[in-house]
Structure 1
């Protein structure tokens, strides 16, 4: 179960690097080639969201991206350092991942749009928010998970 962890300052120019690394690690983990564009887009959206949250809340901690290859799945967790209202677990599309601390209506709408895009790209999404920040966990099956007839 190899794991790759990225940490980067909340600068938009680092999102591209996170997308490229995610696609490369996903390919190595056995994620279907046809799904790699979705991986890139979802990671880009999650990282852009985290960068936006960090910048709007003046958080100097790095954005984290953890890529984990499991036996039959590949998962990516994008973490932000924005404390949420508690340590609840919510389904994709609900406010989470630091969203509870947003005070601006436009930021709430943008946050919800980002989560909607991610949930449209990824079938298995979990959004968590806690006192240490929020995490978006996205999971894709690998080739070893596919059962041929």
Structure 2
């Protein structure tokens, strides 16, 4: 099992780099060429969502991206620093309309990711939020 870890400042201009790195590692891991555009788009959405959450919650910590290569699958985890106790519900009371708009964009981003990735899991906890996306590799199709 090989893992590549990428951390970047929560700035929109770094999302493109994360997409390029994710696609390169996915290709090396054996993800089907026909799916690489979906990988790029999904990672872009997940990273953009994390950047937006960091900006709206004034979090200075970097966005975390793990690219995990397994025998039969390739997974990408995008983590943000928004802990479970600083979620959008509590912030909406203080921020009003701006927070409500950010929440709507957040839901739209998750809907796009769910449309692109068959195996996606979204969690939130004391260490922050996490989107885990998984794709089969071509070696998985070849193995009996």
Q: State the TM-score, normalized to the length of structure 1.
A: 0.88
Match of 1:27 in 2: 27
SS of equivalent residue, structure 2 residue 83: coil
Alignment of 1:1-149 (within 5 A): 1-85=1-85, 99=88, 102-103=91-92, 104-147=99-142
CA contact (8 A) 1:99 1:111 kept: no
The structure that is helix-richer by fraction is: 2
Give RMSD over aligned pairs: 1.7
Measured against aligned partners, the alpha-carbon deviations of 1:78-130 in whole angstroms (never above 9, x if no partner) come to: 000001249xxxxxxxxxxx555552211111110000000000000000100
Q: Which runs of 5+ in 1 are unaligned?
A: 87-97
SS of equivalent residue, structure 2 residue 84: coil
CA contact (8 A) 1:10 1:63 kept: yes
Q: State the TM-score, normalized to the length of structure 2.
A: 0.91
Match of 1:91 in 2: none
Distance in 1 of aligned mates of 2:33 and 2:89: 36
Kindly name which structure, 1 or 2, has the bigger radius of gyration based on alpha carbons. Answer: 2
Aligned residues: 138
Distance in 1 of aligned mates of 2:107 and 2:122: 12
CA contact (8 A) 1:84 1:101 kept: no
Distance in 2 of aligned mates of 1:142 and 1:43: 17
Distance in 2 of aligned mates of 1:82 and 1:49: 11
Following TM superposition, the consecutive aligned residue runs of length 4 or more in structure 1 with deviations greater than 4 angstroms are 98-102
SS of equivalent residue, structure 1 residue 146: helix
Q: Which runs of 5+ in 2 are unaligned?
A: 93-98
CA contact (8 A) 1:84 1:100 kept: no
